[in-house]
Structure 1
């Protein structure tokens, strides 16, 4: 038999040397990452609370009612206990050296990766909409026939491909963590693009000479998906910020 022993552990606030507002904190982080001071736009609290409620509905969102309440309450504490634990005074964030190589790339990827995911999703979703309804159905079936699709299977292939494009677009915006690493989604999209490109190159090679480049644009699309595999392949947050005590 074993007995559980409860030992009270003192709480130590891990604080910095100087208090600062969130605006000042973000400005200092931009400076450390090698950026400019930046522009700050005031947002009404009513809009912030509405956005918080909507953001809380998204999977993996860091913004919810508790997070907003914490921001409104503030987070300031004396540093004497923290200094006694670490054995020295904490370094002021404003005194950190400017290290764009260490902090700049992760800071930029934190907002560039969501933008990239959204643009990839927009391509798939718009392609699905165009294929299923906006582009003339007869022209789509004619293209399928030219690549070798049986006439009887034309409508099934047309709307099946449009549905697959739609699924890829939706999953690009909201990937369920239970499905494992997000890299699987990007890899599947690469496979489909390569298959489409190979088939069209074989049966409709004139599309390589099209002035709008419907096939050549697949090359940067694949490159962007490879980048997402490298930097956004996990099921959680892709980039973790660097911190110093």
Structure 2
């Protein structure tokens, strides 16, 4: 079949893309980053689509020529600049579904979310539910799949859980007894592929969950044991405080969760596994079985331990450059700075330009790094600046290498830290 797959560059979409092509289907893969997608080893017809902009049916009708099935795998767990629930979960999917009905597409498979039902309260669930209801009202075959938390290789939630589990003390919302029913990505993919090829699931809402419900505390304990970290050391955070911290972290963009994520966690994320088994004739795999099947590697442990250190390294380097700029321009005695510049060979007229120009450069580099703008270019420019400073001082003031406070020798670990940060920030 010819399948249009949206969100093909995401966690769920990328797994679906590989599975569908293995089954012999031809996939038109909708991605935001077309250049990055074309470097993929998966053979497909990649096209550029942006759910934040392609809000009308007219944007989708030309893309649906000769398409048999549409799979919508676009989804975000929290909003960010340019990525809003209303557009990505509701407006654009509805436009796509209506275009599909007009173009004569055979079937639409909507990957929604467990909890996008009559009891929905969060904007995440409400936005998903609105698209589900619009699809169900169209004169077209459809299957709406509502998965619980999906885990597996490449899942952002999995990376977060492992990072939390690897901390010396693992923060929990309250007692950590919120119940969830995680589903492995292989089981979700298996269900979607069957829904493509089998009409028995047409016009059905099907909840997709793992075989057993577990608490968040149990999940993190299992992840810690998988990482060979020993017993979990929980740190209980009262629910009201957790909400405030998540709201602050979400506002600053410093965490992958926000207030809505904590509220959804507190609500729980469980359902009966029987409808999944009845619809697709297989029982999903348990978390314990999947962890045993794929033992943790050194790379898994490194990733978990560096998860929170990577942004911390970037913030600390950014603040170092900003503090250096402020100190040079306003705090350190001006006459001492000019005296150093004179020793380097800078004449009196040019000294203010060098002093405040260097301070401005440091400030701009630090601010860009803090805001995570053009990180690669900024890091390379920082490295070039450190090397230039070190070279100039080595030539003109070589005695600084023997200074007891190490003003030049400290540039060596700073260069290494910047190189490490550069690698950690690359996608």
Q: TM-score, normalised by structure 1?
A: 0.82
Change (3 A) 1:102 1:83: farther
Residues 36-84 of structure 1 show CA distances to partners (whole Å, capped at 9, x for unaligned) of 2232222223322222332232347532333222112111122334456
Paired residues of 1:56 and 1:62 also in contact (CA < 8 A): yes
Structure number with the higher strand fraction is 2
Cα root mean square deviation, aligned: 2.5
Shift of 1:107: 0.7
Range with bigger deviation, 164-173 or 136-145 = 164-173
Paired residues of 2:211 and 2:284 also in contact (CA < 8 A): yes
Instruction: Note if 1:44 corresponds to 2:178.
Output: no
Change (3 A) 1:79 1:46: same
Which of 26, 40, 55 lines up with 2:220 in the alignment? 26
Shift of 1:104: 0.7
Shift of 1:144: 1.3
Which of 163, 174, 182 lines up with 2:371 in the alignment? 174
Counterpart Cα distance in 2 of 1:94 and 1:82: 19
Which of 136, 143, 147 lines up with 1:9 in the alignment? 143
Shift of 1:228: 1.9
Counterpart Cα distance in 2 of 1:99 and 1:39: 20
Shift of 1:202: 0.9
Change (3 A) 1:38 1:81: same
Residues 94-133 of structure 1 show CA distances to partners (whole Å, capped at 9, x for unaligned) of 3423414242111112112122112212321221232122
Shift of 1:226: 1.4
Residues 172-222 of structure 1 show CA distances to partners (whole Å, capped at 9, x for unaligned) of 22214xx4xx22221111111111111111111111111121111111111
Paired residues of 1:122 and 1:169 also in contact (CA < 8 A): yes
Residue 131 of structure 1 is matched in structure 2 by: 328
Residue 238 of structure 1 is matched in structure 2 by: none
Count of residue correspondences: 230
The aligned runs of 1:147-226 (5 Å cut-off) are 147-176=344-373, 179=374, 182-226=375-419
Instruction: Note if 1:145 corresponds to 2:279.
Output: no
